[in-house]
Amino acid sequence: MADVLPYKPKQGEIPTEPGVYRFRDAQGRVLYVGKAKNLRQRLSNYFAPLRTLHERTRRMVTTAASVEWTVVPTDVDSLQLEYMWIKEFDPPFNVRYKDDKSYPFMAITLGDEAPRVMVTRNRKIPGARYFGPYPKVWAVHDTIDLMIKVFPIRTCSDASYKRAMSTGRPCFPGQIGKCGGPCSMTVTIEEHRAIVDDFVAFMAGGDERFTKELTKRMLAASAAMDYEAAAKYRDQLASIEAVLGKSALVLPADEDADLFGIAEDELAATVQHFTIRGGRVRGVRATTIEKEIDISGADLVDQVLQRAYGEGVDIPRRVLVPSLPDDAAELEVWLQERRGRRVEIAVAQRGQRAELMRTATLNAQQALIRHKTRRTSDYVARTQALTDLQEALDLDTAPLRIECFDISHLGGTNVVASMVVFEDGLPRKDQYRSFNIAETTDDTDSMYQVLMRRLAYLDRPEPEDQADSAVVTDPLATDAEVVTTRKRPRFSYPPQLLLVDGGKPQVEAAARALRDSGHTEIGLCGIAKRLEEVWLPGEDFPVILPRTSEALYLLQRLRDEAHRFAITHQRKRRRRDISTVLEEIPGLGAARIKTLLKHFGSVAALKAAAPDAIQEVPGIGPTLAQSIHTRLRSG
């Protein structure tokens, strides 16, 4: 493959002004759309030597046959044009958005003569005002049921409303008190519109003036001994408090904001979108992004905001993000043009905002795990993954049993290894194993040692008491013998594929272990984390699996699980080691050791603590504190 692309523009041909560029393939299809403050500087990154490019970026530029650009007057114009072209051409190498589900919204049809409140997943109703999204349909219905007790607006369908207005007979919801629209003949069109405006005002900000007004009316009715009216106001207050209780107050009561928590890996990202109105979380939405080229951090935030607000729907006055994109100022202008008022993009750095950002990020991390797990747990996807692996790695059979190995250490000490097992594409946690490595020179030597120990079990003769069958006398039987079959230990089952966490050096060490143990019939590969490359023994170049490959998702899941299991084992060992050291100090028992570790939170913090700090722990005196400090320092 040539190191220079044939369609690379000539020197000085690319302008230095802001603009938008498009990569096209030989058939003219737009593959990728991007924007730049300086077109020459940005595009030069794509035309660097191919060996220096990220693998997915290299795949994009080698798939393309031409590049073109459009110069625009300002950075804001480039942002607008980029969004328009992405919507128009849907380029395959731009980030792909995929909602976890179609979320339900509460909609008020303000464009109707008598607006109604409804549950819908359609965001394109003319003139409608939306609230949400809500995680569950029943949550929207519960909120509506509570709200119409306070703001009795129309809930019936358009057909029922027209029939009721033409016949003079209320709709069925109106007959049972579930619809307070004009069709029930209790209010006029104008009065109903005023109630709708109050409904929208309350949902938009949880306006507490309604609570104060209802409390005032209830007290007045009670003082006038109009207990029926007072009870009505009391029930309405209870409904309002129930609605407010469903959405926790997380920010100041006048805060309207959208907050985005993001979790990502090399191939995908998830975005957790919290809609905050009146200081309360009014809606939650999770979106999965599949990344075709290398994009992360601030660039990803840029794409997320364009996606969220491209249609100009319900833009708040403040947008909270984990990191500011490079063109944050231009994005603010772009959003302001859509909203009609000022919009601020800020990083949630401290206080309640930072705490809410941590919550959103945690939810995004869990959603990313669910996204990857869902793909590997689906039967069709698992079958496809195993078939793709067999073809990509040139295996004789599908790898129904895969064992993955990972090495973990702490600065070269406490070296441990993990083995996780997947059968038929699913984890078998009862067969996970962990290894302690006493002496080693580096990760490749550790990998060799661990695999030699594991492979030795395949040749170990089966003990007599582990025979496939044995005769056991049933003590409750008089003259009968019961024949039972004992299963072969699962650790002695050979895998069809060994997977190691690492690149070419780790794979070669594993291949040496297979040769030395005489088990070259077992398949072998390694997955390198930086570019998600799959390495085979004896090969100079890696296998690049497609980004959407089910096989790649399965290998990633195995690698991540092995890493998690190794880290967990190492942490347990470190805690056990420090407990053993502390137990040797006179005056320290199990209770005091537990209190010490709980107080400092980590072994490293305890080791770094001065005697005065250790003495602050209940039950630890000056002499004992000094002994602990001296013992840990000497260790």
What does the pLDDT look like over 524-545, one tens digit per residue?
A: 999 887 667 888 988 888 888 8
Q: Are residues 370 and 275 part of one domain?
A: yes
Give the CATH number for residue 325. Answer: 3.30.420.10
The stretch 76-80 carries a mean pLDDT of: 81
The C-alpha angle with vertex 201 and arms to 196 and 206, in degrees rounded to 5, equals 130
* 431 lies in some domain: yes
Quick one: CA torsion of 139, 145, 147, 152, rounded to 10 degrees? 150
Rg, C-alpha atoms of the chain: 32
The mean-pLDDT minimum among 211-225, 349-363, 388-402 falls in 211-225
Asked if 506 and 536 touch (Cβ cutoff 8 Å), the reply is no
* 60 lies in some domain: yes
Could you list the beta-strand ranges (E) of 163-267. 257-264
What is the distance between the alpha carbons of residues 350 and 125, in angstroms, rounded to a whole number? Answer: 38
What pLDDT is attached to residue 94? 80
- Taking the CA of residue 196 as centre, how many other CA atoms within 13 Å lie in the half-sphere pointing to its CB? 28
Read off the pLDDT band of 498 (50, 70, 90): very high
Q: Are residues 555 and 437 part of one domain?
A: yes
- pLDDT tens profile 218-237: 788 778 777 777 777 677 66
- Taking the CA of residue 622 as centre, how many other CA atoms within 13 Å lie in the half-sphere pointing to its CB? 0
Q: Are residues 610 and 525 part of one domain?
A: no
Read off the pLDDT band of 470 (50, 70, 90): very low
Q: How far is CA 203 from the centre of its chain?
A: 28
Asked if 420 and 499 touch (Cβ cutoff 8 Å), the reply is no
Name the domain boundary from 207, 226, 248: 207
Give the CATH number for residue 522. Answer: 3.30.420.340
Q: Are residues 113 and 83 part of one domain?
A: no
According to DSSP, residue 430 is labeled G
The alpha-helical segments, DSSP class H, found in 521-589 are 550-583
Question: Residue 296 phi/psi, 5° resolution?
Answer: -160, 175
Is residue 193 packed enough to be buried (19+ CB in 10 Å), middle (13-18) or exposed (0-12)?
Answer: middle
Q: Are residues 448 and 502 part of one domain?
A: yes
Given a cut of 90, whether residue 404 has pLDDT beyond it is: yes
Question: Residue 513 phi/psi, 5° resolution?
Answer: -65, -40
Task: Give the Cβ contact number of residue 574 at 10 Å.
Answer: 17
The C-alpha angle with vertex 221 and arms to 218 and 227, in degrees rounded to 5, equals 95
Q: How far is CA 468 from the centre of its chain?
A: 46
Total domains in the chain come to: 5
* 226 lies in some domain: no
* 588 lies in some domain: yes
What is the distance between the alpha carbons of residues 272 and 370, in angstroms, rounded to a whole number? Answer: 13
Given a cut of 50, whether residue 562 has pLDDT beyond it is: yes
Give the CATH number for residue 610. Answer: 1.10.150.20
Given a cut of 90, whether residue 87 has pLDDT beyond it is: no
The stretch 560-570 carries a mean pLDDT of: 80
Show the domain range for 423. Answer: 393-460+468-570
Higher pLDDT, 144 or 3: 144
Higher pLDDT, 294 or 164: 164
Read off the pLDDT band of 546 (50, 70, 90): confident
* 161 lies in some domain: yes
The C-alpha angle with vertex 584 and arms to 581 and 587, in degrees rounded to 5, equals 120
What is the distance between the alpha carbons of residues 401 and 389, in angstroms, rounded to a whole number? Answer: 12
Nearest to 267 by CA among 560, 561, 565: 560
Helix (H) or strand (E) holding 118: strand 117-120
* 381 lies in some domain: no
Q: Are residues 292 and 263 part of one domain?
A: yes
The mean-pLDDT minimum among 261-270, 290-299, 350-359, 486-495 falls in 486-495
Q: Are residues 142 and 40 part of one domain?
A: no
Q: Are residues 537 and 418 part of one domain?
A: yes
Name the domain boundary from 570, 599, 618: 570
Name the domain boundary from 165, 187, 207: 207
Read off the pLDDT band of 634 (50, 70, 90): low
What pLDDT is attached to residue 476? 38
What is the distance between the alpha carbons of residues 332 and 328, in angstroms, rounded to a whole number? Answer: 6
* 213 lies in some domain: no
Q: Are residues 166 and 127 part of one domain?
A: yes
Question: Residue 68 phi/psi, 5° resolution?
Answer: -140, 160
Sign of CA pseudo-dihedral 617, 618, 621, 622: positive
Average predicted confidence (pLDDT) for the chain: 77
The rounded percent of the chain whose pLDDT value lies above 70 is 77
What is the distance between the alpha carbons of residues 97 and 373, in angstroms, rounded to a whole number? Answer: 18
Given a cut of 90, whether residue 268 has pLDDT beyond it is: no
What is the distance between the alpha carbons of residues 156 and 163, in angstroms, rounded to a whole number? Answer: 11
Q: Are residues 542 and 413 part of one domain?
A: yes
* 337 lies in some domain: yes
Given a cut of 80, whether residue 211 has pLDDT beyond it is: no
The mean-pLDDT minimum among 364-373, 458-467, 587-596 falls in 458-467
Read off the pLDDT band of 574 (50, 70, 90): low
Q: Are residues 161 and 67 part of one domain?
A: no
The stretch 207-213 carries a mean pLDDT of: 64
Q: Are residues 184 and 138 part of one domain?
A: yes
What pLDDT is attached to residue 242? 59
- DSSP three-state, residue 421: strand
